[in-house]
């Protein structure tokens, strides 16, 4: 429990699927006599290049109180994001961060704080937030915070997406009752984004900011966006879409990093399959499971990207079933043919829903798995924020429930604070697919992207294999299923340079398929040192998944995560970033490993900023795929000639009406 003299600074950043429970802003304990910390300015600089995003955030805070305070600044980072740099500047003094084992960093921080010295601490709160502690923040003075993180990017049906999250997650009632939030930016709120793509980009878009954001096309793959506002609030997400050109080939890209030929190299492989996956023309079954608990209140996109996407893929020969859950689960609609009349009846049933209560996802899944027809292809569409708090909550139990079931699971995580590790466990058990949805996403676009997964066949038993070079410590190379338009990201390490072969083997409608190409691993390539941190974070996520399903003992997982976090300077559940000034680091004999690593990254970034985007495609001479990569503009990809098929558009509209009805119930009927 914080005392009234302990003020919490919080702004919410994000990535993909992890959010803070509080909207962007400074936090003050409820009932505190202290004035809230002011946000003087909030600047975000983003570079999308070479398959990953670099996000730099700079914020200036002002303490208007007559006494010094300890500050806590909390922010969420997205799935697979690696926090690389943190600095806090007060007056002429700058504190920088080095990652140490958690207990060691916390002990040093407390010692320095008790001695009255400037110190800071950056720690991780499970999958939800990173938290910075700064002591002291001087009376009537400013504090400037800077941090940088990286995250891999993926293309879905030819569309890339970047999200900077700010909207309240709405899942932590205890936090909302304890803190009061000031999300107002007194000065400037600005976003500067640079997109550099080696393949042509047809168009870009930032929904909701069309009038405010200035977008310029520098070349066919290079765009810039600038957004500058005064007096803004940190209460809505920033979403940026970029649509690649049509008819691009399926391709394999290798982004390597190797600074020393005597040591292993690291790589990120991005595979954009060119696959001719056919529509599921025969009748299929779709059971979708809707979270109507209290934590879902206000998340209109929950059903817009879940119910609407499922309905938008229906044919009259399909069958539909709806299960809802909060503290318990119930069947809203039994198996019913997906005729327009039946879908309209389903709409009326949903209109009567009143979201409330706890979240028992397990009960919803158990009910959904009943009465499955083994003779029909079945897809399960789960729409939730994943914040399960009742019934069975252990991830291993979810994995056991689903691992032997023959169906496809599609998860849609709604809003901030969504529990992506649990959704990952659920979908991984069946080789499923999940994505996050923001309230600032394009709803029609989300429908189109989802339809290409749900309404089309998928490849089964998919796995990548390397030969000709020793490749090890890989992640993402055993996807099990591959869906239409899905881009795959594989991380790994390699020994030796020269020729290597990668093969993708899978089954399609019972037939064995193999896609292969040969390429060169470089002896030296220092253009992308950030790849090492991204690889280490992917390794950590894989270890966490194995621990969650019971495959890795907790003690072994903790040790492995701590070792990777320290070696690659990543803040994890087992490591913490300690912020001190240069003299104090020297006095304590703490090695400046993160300073050395960030210096290499900054140097590479400076060089890349002056260069045209570099192509890392390695299968040009020996294409791995004969077919082009699926694209959202193609017939059958969710759009025909750039527009939804009229019958599907009607069903999508029906789903949106369902979403609006439930949204209205949440805000009006629940009062």
Q: What angle do CA 477, 479, 480 make, to 5 degrees?
A: 130
pLDDT tens readout for residues 160-170: 999 887 765 55
What's the rounded mean pLDDT across residues 196-214? 92
> How many other C-beta atoms lie within 10 A of the C-beta of residue 417?
28
Looking at every residue in the chain, the average pLDDT score rounds to 83
pLDDT tens readout for residues 20-69: 334 455 656 666 788 888 889 999 999 999 899 999 999 998 889 999 88
pLDDT tens readout for residues 378-399: 889 888 877 788 999 999 999 9
pLDDT classification of 647: cutoffs 50, 70, 90 = very low
- Contact status, residue 360 vs residue 390, Cβ threshold 8 Å: yes
In 415-458, the DSSP E strands lie at 433-437
Alpha helix locations (H) across 474-592? 530-548, 554-568, 582-588
**Position 187 pLDDT exceeds 60:** yes
What's the rounded mean pLDDT across residues 467-479? 95
Q: Is residue 204 part of a domain?
A: no
Would you state the torsion angle of the CA atoms of residues 524, 492, 410, 160, taken in this order, to the nearest 10 degrees? Answer: -10
Cβ partners under 8 Å of residue 564, min gap 6: 536, 539, 540, 543, 570, 572
Among candidates 234, 152, 143, 164, which has minimal Cα distance to 206? Answer: 164
Q: Would you state the pLDDT for residue 11? A: 25
pLDDT classification of 663: cutoffs 50, 70, 90 = very low
Q: Is residue 352 part of a domain?
A: yes
Among candidates 8, 158, 212, 105, which has minimal Cα distance to 573? Answer: 105
What's the rounded mean pLDDT across residues 200-224? 92
pLDDT classification of 10: cutoffs 50, 70, 90 = very low
Which is higher by pLDDT, 375 or 553? Answer: 553
Query: What does the alpha-carbon distance between residue 349 and residue 421 come to, in Å, rounded to a whole number?
Result: 31
23-32, 254-263, 407-416: which has the minimum mean pLDDT? 23-32
Query: What does the alpha-carbon distance between residue 185 and residue 234 come to, in Å, rounded to a whole number?
Result: 7
Q: What angle do CA 414, 416, 325 make, to 5 degrees?
A: 40
Paired tokens of 260: 């020393």
Which residue range(s) make up the domain with 432?
A: 285-455+640-669
What's the rounded mean pLDDT across residues 457-482? 94
Q: Is residue 298 part of a domain?
A: yes
pLDDT classification of 415: cutoffs 50, 70, 90 = low
pLDDT classification of 124: cutoffs 50, 70, 90 = confident
- Contact status, residue 61 vs residue 71, Cβ threshold 8 Å: yes
Which is higher by pLDDT, 23 or 367? Answer: 367
User: Taking the mean position of all CA atoms in its chain, how far away is CA 356?
Assistant: 27
**Position 109 pLDDT exceeds 60:** yes
Q: Is residue 395 part of a domain?
A: yes
Domain count, the chain: 1
Query: What does the alpha-carbon distance between residue 423 and residue 395 come to, in Å, rounded to a whole number?
Result: 9
Cβ partners under 8 Å of residue 372, min gap 6: 285, 287, 378, 405, 407
Determine what percent of the chain is predicted with pLDDT higher than 70: 81
9-18, 350-359, 527-536, 652-661: which has the minimum mean pLDDT? 9-18
Q: Hey, is 119 helix, strand or coil? A: strand
pLDDT classification of 300: cutoffs 50, 70, 90 = very low
pLDDT tens readout for residues 506-561: 999 889 999 999 999 999 999 999 999 999 999 999 999 999 999 999 999 999 99
Q: Would you state the pLDDT for residue 168? A: 57
What's the rounded mean pLDDT across residues 254-274? 97
Which is higher by pLDDT, 501 or 406? Answer: 501
Among candidates 563, 597, 574, which has minimal Cα distance to 105? Answer: 574
Q: Is residue 363 part of a domain?
A: yes
Packing angle, helices 420-430 and 395-402, rounded to 10: 20
Query: What does the alpha-carbon distance between residue 162 and residue 43 come to, in Å, rounded to a whole number?
Result: 16
Cβ partners under 8 Å of residue 483, min gap 6: 277, 433, 452, 453, 456, 458
> How many other C-beta atoms lie within 10 A of the C-beta of residue 163?
23
> How many other C-beta atoms lie within 10 A of the C-beta of residue 596?
10
The domain that holds 323 is classified in CATH as 3.40.50.410
**Position 8 pLDDT exceeds 70:** no
Is the pTM above the cut of 0.75?
A: yes
Q: Is residue 321 part of a domain?
A: yes
Q: Would you state the pLDDT for residue 196? A: 96
> How many other C-beta atoms lie within 10 A of the C-beta of residue 235?
15
**Position 369 pLDDT exceeds 60:** yes
What sign results for the dihedral spanned by CA atoms 267, 268, 272, 275? positive
Which residue has 């950030």 as its token pair?
Answer: 530
Q: Is residue 52 part of a domain?
A: no
Determine what percent of the chain is predicted with pLDDT higher than 90: 53
The 3-class SS string of 146-177 reads EEEEEEECCEECCEEEEEECCCCCCCCHHHHH
**Position 624 pLDDT exceeds 90:** yes
**Position 98 pLDDT exceeds 50:** yes
**Position 432 pLDDT exceeds 90:** no
CA distances from 137 to 64, 70, 620 (A): 11, 6, 56
**Position 401 pLDDT exceeds 90:** yes
Query: What does the alpha-carbon distance between residue 130 and residue 214 come to, in Å, rounded to a whole number?
Result: 31
> How many other C-beta atoms lie within 10 A of the C-beta of residue 640?
14
Alpha helix locations (H) across 569-642? 582-588, 593-609
**Position 257 pLDDT exceeds 90:** yes
- Contact status, residue 451 vs residue 312, Cβ threshold 8 Å: yes
Q: Is residue 226 part of a domain?
A: no
């Amino acid at each position: 429990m914080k005392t009234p003299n302990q003020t919490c600074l919080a702004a919410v950043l994000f990535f993909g699927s992890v959010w803070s429970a509080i909207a962007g802003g400074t936090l003050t304990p409820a009932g505190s006599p202290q004035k809230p910390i002011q946000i003087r300015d909030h600047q975000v600089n983003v570079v999308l290049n070479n398959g990953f995003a670099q996000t730099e955030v700079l914020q200036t805070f002002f303490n208007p109180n007559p006494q010094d305070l300890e500050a806590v600044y909390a922010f969420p980072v997205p799935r697979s994001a690696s926090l690389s740099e943190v600095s806090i500047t007060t007056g002429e003094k700058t504190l920088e961060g080095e990652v140490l084992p958690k207990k060691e960093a916390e002990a040093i921080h407390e010692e320095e704080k008790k001695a009255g010295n400037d110190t800071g601490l950056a720690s991780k709160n499970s999958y939800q937030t990173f938290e910075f502690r700064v002591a002291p923040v001087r009376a009537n003075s400013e504090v400037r915070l800077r941090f940088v993180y990286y995250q891999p990017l993926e293309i879905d049906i030819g569309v890339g997406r970047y999200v900077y999250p700010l909207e309240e997650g709405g899942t932590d009632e205890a936090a909302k009752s304890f803190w009061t939030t000031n999300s107002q930016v007194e000065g400037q709120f600005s976003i500067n984004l640079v997109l550099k793509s080696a393949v042509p980009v047809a168009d870009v878009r930032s929904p909701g900011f069309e009038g405010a954001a200035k977008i310029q096309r520098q070349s066919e793959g290079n765009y810039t966006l600038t957004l500058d506002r005064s007096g803004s609030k940190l209460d809505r997400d920033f979403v940026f879409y970029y649509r690649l050109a049509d008819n691009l080939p399926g391709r394999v890209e290798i982004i390597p990093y190797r600074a020393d030929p005597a040591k292993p190299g690291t790589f990120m492989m991005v595979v954009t399959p060119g696959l001719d996956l056919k529509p599921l023309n025969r009748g299929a079954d779709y059971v979708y499971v809707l979270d109507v608990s209290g934590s879902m209140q206000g998340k209109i996109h929950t059903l817009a990207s879940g119910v609407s996407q499922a309905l938008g893929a229906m044919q009259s020969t399909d069958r539909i079933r709806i299960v809802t859950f909060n503290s318990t689960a119930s069947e809203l609609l039994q198996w019913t043919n997906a005729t327009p009349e039946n879908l309209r009846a389903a709409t009326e049933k949903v209109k009567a829903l009143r979201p409330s209560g706890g979240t028992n996802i397990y009960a919803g899944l158990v009910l959904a798995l009943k009465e499955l027809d083994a003779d029909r292809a079945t897809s399960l569409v789960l729409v939730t924020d994943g914040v399960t708090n009742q019934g069975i909550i252990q991830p291993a139990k979810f994995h056991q429930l689903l691992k032997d079931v023959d169906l496809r699971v599609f998860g849609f995580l709604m809003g901030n604070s969504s529990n992506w590790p649990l959704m990952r466990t659920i979908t991984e058990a069946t080789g499923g697919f999940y994505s996050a949805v923001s309230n600032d996403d394009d709803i029609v676009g989300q429908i189109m992207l989802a339809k290409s997964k749900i309404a089309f066949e998928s490849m089964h038993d998919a796995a990548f294999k390397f030969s000709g070079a020793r490749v090890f410590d890989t992640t993402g190379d055993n996807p099990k299923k591959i869906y239409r338009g899905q881009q795959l990201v594989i991380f790994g390490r390699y020994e030796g340079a020269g020729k290597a072969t990668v093969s993708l083997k899978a089954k399609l409608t019972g037939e064995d398929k193999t896609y292969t190409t040969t390429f060169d691993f470089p002896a030296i390539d220092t253009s992308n040192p950030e790849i090492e941190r991204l690889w280490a974070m992917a390794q950590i996520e894989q270890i966490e998944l194995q621990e969650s399903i019971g495959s890795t003992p907790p003690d072994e997982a903790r040790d492995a995560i701590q070792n990777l976090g320290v070696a690659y300077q990543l803040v994890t559940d087992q490591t913490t970033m300690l912020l001190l000034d240069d003299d104090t680091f020297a006095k304590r004999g703490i090695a400046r490993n993160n300073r050395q690593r960030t210096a290499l990254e900054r140097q590479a970034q400076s060089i890349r900023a002056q260069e045209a985007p570099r192509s890392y495609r390695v299968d040009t001479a020996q294409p791995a795929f004969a077919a082009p990569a699926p694209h959202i503009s193609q017939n059958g990809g969710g759009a025909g000639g750039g527009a939804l098929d009229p019958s599907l558009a009607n069903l999508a509209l029906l789903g949106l009406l369902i979403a609006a009805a439930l949204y209205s119930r949440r805000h009006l009927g629940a009062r």
